[in-house]
Amino acid sequence: MVRFALSHSLLDLACLASLVAFGSMGGPLGCSSPSEGTTPSDAGTDTSSFCATDTRGLKWTPGLAQTGKNGLIRTQLLNIFPTPPAKGDNVWTLVVQDAEGKPLEGATVSVKPFMPDHGHGSSIVPHVTPDPASGGKYSISSLNLFMPGLWQTTLTITAGTTTDSVVYGFCVAE
C-alpha cells in the first residue's frame, strides 16, 4: 500500500511538471491518475472494463435508496437519464423523505459531483427543480459527469432546521 501511495505521488508530481512545461509552451494540458485499487501500469486501461471490476460504485436500479449520514432523511432515485449514468449531462429524478418516510416538500437540495480518484468536481453547477405537484419529488439537471471514472455525487438536503446528506457513487464508462 505504501508503494502504491508513493508511486501515485510520483505520478502526480510528474504530471504537474508536465503541465508546467507544456503549458508554458502553449501545448495541450491534461492529466489523469490511476484509480484507487489500480497500479500505475493499469492506469491506461479501458474505462468500461474498469467499471465492470470497480466495486466502489453503486449499480443503478430504479428506486435506488440512500439514508442520510445522520439518519435524518432518505432519498430514492426514481429515474436517471441516461441509464446507467454516462459521460456528459445527466438528469436524475428523486424523492426526498424525512426519517419517518414523509415527503419533504420545499427542501433545499444542493448537488456536488466529485471524482475522488482525481480530486476534482465538475465546473458546471447542477440545477435542482422541485415538482410541486408531487410531494417531495425533485429533478436534477445539468449533472455533468464530464469524464469516465468513479463519480461520487453528494446531495445535501436542508428542510427547516434539518440538514443531512447522501452520496450516490457511480462509475461512468468511456
| Residue 25 shares a structural domain with residue 69 | no
8 Å CB contact between 153 and 143 = yes
Number of structural domains found in the chain: 2
| Residue 105 shares a structural domain with residue 156 | yes
Total-model pTM: 0.73
Is residue 147 helix, strand or coil? coil
The CATH number given to whatever domain includes residue 68 is 2.60.40.3340
Helix %, strand %, coil % for the chain, to 5? 20, 40, 40
Is residue 50 helix, strand or coil? helix
Residues paired with residue 108 on neighbouring β-strands, in sequence order: 158
Domain ranges, residue 38: 2-45
pLDDT value at residue 132: 85
* CA distances, 110 to each of 48, 50, 121, 124 (Å): 29, 29, 14, 13
pLDDT value at residue 43: 43
* DSSP assignment letter at 82: S
| Within a domain: 59 | no
94 C-beta neighbours (distance < 10 Å), count? 24
| Residue 17 shares a structural domain with residue 96 | no
Q: What value does the mean pLDDT take over residues 90-119?
A: 96
For residue range 23-76, list pLDDT tens digits in order.
444 444 444 444 444 433 344 445 567 888 989 999 999 999 999 999 999 999
The string over 45-78, giving b where at least 16 C-beta atoms fall within 10 Å of a residue's C-beta and e elsewhere, is eebeebbeebeebbeeeeebebebeeeebbbbbe
| Residue 41 shares a structural domain with residue 69 | no
Write down the mean pLDDT value for the chain. 81
| Within a domain: 155 | yes
Taking 70 as the threshold, does the pLDDT of residue 112 lie above it? yes
Q: What value does the mean pLDDT take over residues 102-115?
A: 96
Q: Could you give the maximum distance between any two Cα atoms of the chain, in Å?
A: 59
pLDDT value at residue 103: 94
| Within a domain: 36 | yes
The sign of the dihedral angle between the CA atoms of 90, 140, 165, 99 is negative
